[in-house]
Structure 1
Amino acid sequence: MTVRVLKYKPDYDVVPHAIFWRPLRYFTLIFRDGEDGLDMFKGASFTIGNDIRFDLRVYRGHLNPKFTVTLYLPLEVTDEKVIADIIERVMKEMVIPMTAAAWKRGQPFEFGRLERQKADRLVEEEARTIVLKIAASQSNRIASMKLLRDEVPKFVELSVSDLEPSPTRRHEQLWQQIVRNVAGSHPTIFKVGLARKVRRGIEITDEGIAYLSSIGFLEASASNLAEAK
């Protein structure tokens, strides 16, 4: 099932139901500035099939607005099981790690306090998608190793575990080793045709662009970055 990101403002009121410990740029390049009468926000609207509509928003007053985003559902969605199913579906279709969920509807919530899951850290599976997103964000679709090292910390907040020294590579932290493995020697994204190795780094392919479109990072009809902006 494809996640479709919308360029226009939805015509429904929304209620918050989950918080993910990832920045808005992690989820999509198609977002807008908005205001709901209470505060300014940056956000994006999505659909999955014909029955699921949701927003991802970051308000200026949110806890850790640099690295968290809140999932909003239409006001009329009130059934707790339906809400839980939608959250699970969104996380599956957008390839959001389970550890990225800092809060879900039904869990205790203390106003002014939000804790990140201790197990939430960068792993190779997530790093593969982040590497593709960074390449797709470039006008030439190419990401050098230096660019990846500069940009990955903007897509996911590095945890204490991420910052630990690599046991096998001197002068590198664990997250840097993971990024190097994914972009340099890890075969997965190359074997399945999502990216190719080039002299300057890695280049995302048309297949990679289509994959990112299917999880809402780009427009579903995007065939290149220019069309996705």
Structure 2
Amino acid sequence: MTVTRFAPSPTGYLHIGGLRTALYSYLWARKNGGTFRLRIEDTDLARNSEEALGAIIEAFNWVGLSYDGEVEYQSKRTEIYKEYINRLLENGNAYKCYMSKEELDSLRAKQEAAKQTPRYDETWRPEDGKVLPQIPEGIEPVIRIKAPKTGEIRFVDGVKGDMKFDASFVDDFVIARSNGMPTYNFVVTIDDMLMEMTDVIRGDDHLSNTPKQIVIYEALGFDV
């Protein structure tokens, strides 16, 4: 069965592009006799706005969009996300990184000066025979996923067709911040898997997120 979703963040008012995306998702689900879900991506607690959330629901009512089931709020699902982060740590597909902000800023500056694409240098990535640095005092670690170093990441885009990225396109990106809160790409992947999404309709600016989300799927053993 076709399952689609619209997943706005209540950090500002819904613009016409977002509403158009919601409409496409709704129509695709209805055309195929499927389900259309509404998920509120409200993990950015500092920027969330009750007014913006109300405006999203009001916009849905205004254009006559009806969603199936209850509205899902990511802020109420943090324990679920942490469970999957722990699973990745346990199976060796994620690790703790203790690099400070100053160290990361310095690394980025050096890479930019050398006209290189800024990316994490795997200082804390565990490897056979590798000696990791001593854990520093006073720094809470972030959690990074172990991205593949070789191969290709492939998927089919309904508009662009077959898409292919070299695995080196994705570095060991952060999946949980130092305060324990999971990051955007991680929670989106977990939710789409658990809600059994079959089709994701979103702006072209999200295309570059797809390889990262596929890395998470595969690290957890999910079918993409």
TM class, shorter-chain normalised?
Answer: under 0.3
Q: Which has the higher helix share?
A: 2
Q: Which structure has the higher relative contact order (CA within 8 Å, separation 6+)?
A: 1
Query: So what's the TM-score if we normalise by structure 1?
Result: 0.23
Q: Which has the higher strand share?
A: 1
Query: So what's the TM-score if we normalise by structure 2?
Result: 0.24
